[in-house]
């Protein structure tokens, strides 16, 4: 067995700023109709209570399953309203993606995904505008203008991919008609886009919304936020369960989003930037979503994007998910923080640890360079929380480190996410990867989903293997040597 690399970490003085946690801003679910189930709202309630996830985004509020537009073209919003009420009942707020072309309005029969997300532009553009306008009327009546001022309205999903079969010019027309219909109801309502994959179209979108258009002739900046998506893998989208996925380094995301932030200088005024979808890969049914190492990917990404993005919405909150059809195996490569049985994955704990590190940020300096290692520390009154990660880079060799915290006495409480301790996926593999787990097997997986808890030893430090994360909690000044 290879010896562990020894490395020290010094926790220093306050930086003068509070830690920004963009990870708790929001979370995605699959398509809106799944909110009519009883289990999905329960999953998202837990994400709100334990991870602080405030906003919820989902595809297809106008999909045919929700019957917003009847075959005769009349509008009926009972089921979309039920979806939104369930989100609000959880104490969460809609990040409302206006998408899914109703069959009665669609120009063609084209669709993607198992649940048939209709991707065609409307036959009659005026009818789309009327749909959005009447929907806003109903939302105001049901929820109030002041409530809707808390929401974000996003026009469509990934129009650069098969989710939209029109042209870029037609997407901009859809955006303009939607924005104009919303702003006519209340100029305070926040509208944005383009919700593209791999940060595509940002420059074109910024130029487009910087000047009036025939469909939306209002002056000034015609977007209240910019949203886009990024996944560090070699594909942007797969419409199905097949396809090999090659992971790329997490360093791709800060590069892409920093470039987006620079491009946004084309706008007449600064607006928020939201990373509206992201995960360690875009490919469906990829086991990197289930593995322990996804935790280190998440904390590294969120720590590095804190100064770039206003908020993030991770894809996805739950494995109750249907883009490729529903899968009932406890682990099947689903994107969720919770598996279909509601068992937390390592990724769940990553967001929990990130939320815990709050208050005044403290400097954290390694004794020597180690690019795979990261640390984030913060103080609330006398309590210090220190988040450590050892990122498993798919493009490089990785090492296990023995980390000593300079001056820290023994006794600090430590939680560590590692295979079979905070990451149940590896326990499922050891069970033989059963597709239908028994009650006893599910109980074992639930137990394995809890991180290892122990007391930090100044003599031994903490051993962190590639892909693992740890959260240390201690009190000042008694836990620090003078």
Residues with a catalytic annotation lie at 158
Confidence of residue 239 (pLDDT cuts 50, 70, 90): very low
Q: What pLDDT score was predicted for residue 394?
A: 81
Count the alpha carbons within 13 Å of 456 in the hemisphere toward its beta carbon.
Answer: 29
Residue 9, strand partner residues: 366, 405
Q: What pLDDT score was predicted for residue 404?
A: 94
Answer yes or no: is pLDDT of 335 > 60.
yes
Domain 5-17+360-475 fold is Immunoglobulin-like (2.60.40)
Nearest-5° Cα angle at 427, 426 to 428: 90
On whether the CB atoms of residues 282 and 26 are closer than 8 A, the answer is no
Phi and psi angles of residue 42, each rounded to the nearest 5 degrees, phi first: -65, -45
pLDDT in tens, 117-168: 999 999 999 999 999 999 999 999 999 999 999 999 999 999 999 999 999 9
Q: What is the mean pLDDT of residues 380-391?
A: 95
Answer yes or no: is pLDDT of 435 > 50.
yes
Please name the helix (run of DSSP H) or strand (run of DSSP E) that holds residue 456, with its range, or none.
Answer: none
Alpha carbon distance 192, 273 (integer Å): 10
pLDDT in tens, 185-208: 999 999 999 999 999 999 999 999
Alpha carbon distance 366, 347 (integer Å): 25
**Average pLDDT over the chain, rounded to whole?**
93
- Choices 3.40.50.620, 3.20.20.80, 3.40.50.1820, 3.40.190.10: CATH for 20-356: 3.20.20.80
| Residue 99: closest CA among 77, 124, 121 | 121
Top pLDDT among 62 and 392 is at 62
Alpha carbon distance 76, 134 (integer Å): 10
| Residue 304: closest CA among 262, 350, 252, 243 | 252
Please name the helix (run of DSSP H) or strand (run of DSSP E) that holds residue 352, with its range, or none.
Answer: helix 346-356
Give residues with Cβ within 8 angstroms of 71, minimum separation 6. 103, 104
Return the domain boundaries, the chain. 5-17+360-475, 20-356
- Please give the model's pTM, rounded to 2 decimal places: 0.94
Q: Is 190 left (phi over 0), alpha (psi -120 to 50) or beta?
A: beta
On whether the CB atoms of residues 7 and 372 are closer than 8 A, the answer is no
């Amino acid at each position: 067995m290879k010896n562990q690399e020894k490395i020290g970490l010094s926790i220093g003085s306050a930086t003068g700023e509070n830690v920004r946690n963009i990870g708790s801003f929001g979370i995605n679910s699959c398509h809106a109709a799944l909110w009519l189930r009883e289990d999905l709202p329960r999953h998202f309630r837990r994400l709100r209570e334990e991870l602080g996830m405030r906003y919820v985004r989902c595809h297809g509020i106008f999909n045919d399953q929700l019957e917003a537009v009847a075959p005769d073209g009349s509008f009926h919003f009972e089921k979309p309203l039920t979806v939104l009420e369930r989100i609000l009942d959880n104490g969460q707020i809609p990040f409302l993606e206006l998408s899914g072309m109703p069959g009665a309005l669609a120009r063609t029969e084209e669709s993607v995904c198992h649940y048939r997300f209709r991707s065609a532009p409307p036959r009659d553009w005026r009818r789309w505008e009327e749909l959005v306008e009447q929907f806003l009327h109903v939302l105001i009546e049901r929820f109030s203008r002041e409530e809707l001022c808390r929401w974000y309205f996003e026009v469509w999903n990934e129009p650069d991919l098969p989710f939209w079969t029109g042209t870029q010019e037609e997407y901009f027309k859809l955006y303009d008609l939607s924005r104009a219909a919303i702003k006519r109801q209340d100029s305070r309502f926040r509208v944005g886009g383009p919700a593209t994959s791999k940060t595509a179209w940002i420059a074109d979108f910024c130029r487009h919304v910087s000047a009036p258009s025939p469909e939306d002739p209002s002056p000034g900046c015609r977007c209240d936020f910019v949203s886009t998506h990024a996944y560090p893998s070699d594909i942007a989208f797969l419409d199905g369960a097949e396809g090999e996925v090659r992971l790329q380094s997490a360093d791709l995301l800060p590069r892409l989003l920093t470039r987006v932030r620079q491009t946004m200088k084309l706008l007449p005024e600064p607006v928020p930037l939201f990373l509206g979808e992201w995960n360690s890969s875009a490919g469906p049914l990829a086991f990197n979503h289930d593995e322990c190492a996804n935790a280190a990917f998440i904390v590294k990404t969120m720590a590095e994007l804190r100064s770039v993005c206003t908020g993030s919405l991770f894809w996805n909150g739950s494995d109750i998910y249907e883009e490729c059809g529903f899968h009932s195996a406890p682990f099947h490569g689903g994107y969720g923080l919770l598996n279909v049985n509601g068992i937390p994955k390592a990724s769940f704990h990553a967001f929990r640890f990130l939320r815990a590190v709050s208050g005044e940020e403290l400097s954290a300096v390694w004794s020597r360079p180690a690019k795979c290692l990261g640390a984030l520390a913060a103080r609330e009154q006398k309590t210090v929380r220190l988040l450590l990660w050892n990122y498993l880079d798919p493009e490089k060799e990785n090492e296990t480190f023995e980390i000593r915290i300079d001056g820290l006495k023994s006794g600090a409480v430590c939680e560590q996410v590692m295979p079979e301790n905070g990451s149940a996926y590896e326990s499922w593999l050891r069970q033989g990867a059963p597709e239908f787990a028994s009650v006893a097997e599910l109980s074992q997986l639930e137990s394995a989903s809890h991180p290892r808890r122990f007391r930090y030893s100044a003599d031994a430090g903490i051993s962190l293997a590639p892909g693992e994360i740890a959260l240390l909690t201690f009190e000042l000044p008694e836990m620090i040597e003078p």
